Structure 1
């Protein structure tokens, strides 16, 4: 008894072949980019680790202070992730959004500190227009 392989499915639409090729190229590109984006990924991993550790604040019995204690590292994590985008990203629209995130999150941290009569965090420079891929 001989076994034969089932017929290979044919792409029903010519554009499907182009799409499959584009997906393969995209995958190959992503694999190559994986090594190029290592500093960005490392910066984000570090920011996430600091954020998660900071959010594990011990409850004090004051809901408002506990909220601020958990939200401040959350906002700081967003700031650090946005800084990584400014440092390593090249999409100008995303870089502008990252700058806005930094300013807005810093303002929210300050507003939360004021709301609970806590000292304000130290001033930090505003994000700059640094050239992408420069530390």
Structure 2
């Protein structure tokens, strides 16, 4: 049953199932429609990977602690948004959407930090986003990552 639910989370599987029920063909964009450029195929592949990782990460075993369970499900959800926004930054061309994607990365990172701090969890060491040069990131002490000054410690927009 879990395997079936996992497959239903993939857009291509859902669309194929819908096509079988309705009896019509529905394009599956995860595989790439005819005429898809290499850039579009790479973007779609990254998005499919991000969505699968997010949905798998959100499937948790309840602990009995509602707050911990909430954070355990929301962190992969927010990370999925970050991963999808980074794919837009890598492949997108619309400057307005790229700006929105940059904001998504920063805001979702801040919310992940805030949720972990609310539970008293330790923060992972800061890491550059895949498109950010390694030399540009400086270590950020965990004590400086309070909700009031997180915006100052997050990555700088280009």
If the length of structure 1 is used for normalisation, what is the TM-score?
0.68
Residues in 2 aligned to 1:98 and 1:121: alpha-carbon distance in whole angstroms = 23
Q: 1:45 aligns with which of 44, 48, 71?
A: 48
The CA deviation string for residues 24-68 of structure 1, in whole angstroms up to 9 with x for no partner, is xxxxxx853x23400000000000010001000110100000000
Contact 1:110–1:121 (Cα < 8 Å) also in 2: no
* Structure label with greater radius of gyration: 1
Q: 1:86 aligns with which of 83, 86, 89?
A: 89
Give the direction of change, closer, same or farther, for the CA distance of 1:85–1:127 in structure 2 (3 Å limit).
Answer: farther
Q: Report the aligned-residue RMSD.
A: 1.6
The CA deviation string for residues 83-132 of structure 1, in whole angstroms up to 9 with x for no partner, is 00000001000000000000000000000000111111331333754xxx
Higher relative contact order (CA 8 A, sep 6+): 1
Residues in 2 aligned to 1:100 and 1:75: alpha-carbon distance in whole angstroms = 13
Residues in 1 aligned to 2:50 and 2:121: alpha-carbon distance in whole angstroms = 24
If the length of structure 2 is used for normalisation, what is the TM-score?
0.59
Q: 2:126 aligns with which of 120, 123, 133?
A: 123
Displacement over 2 Å in runs of 4+: 124-129
Which residue matches 1:35?
Answer: 37
> How many residues are paired up?
99
Q: Does 1:101 align with 2:104?
A: yes
Q: Does 1:60 align with 2:63?
A: yes
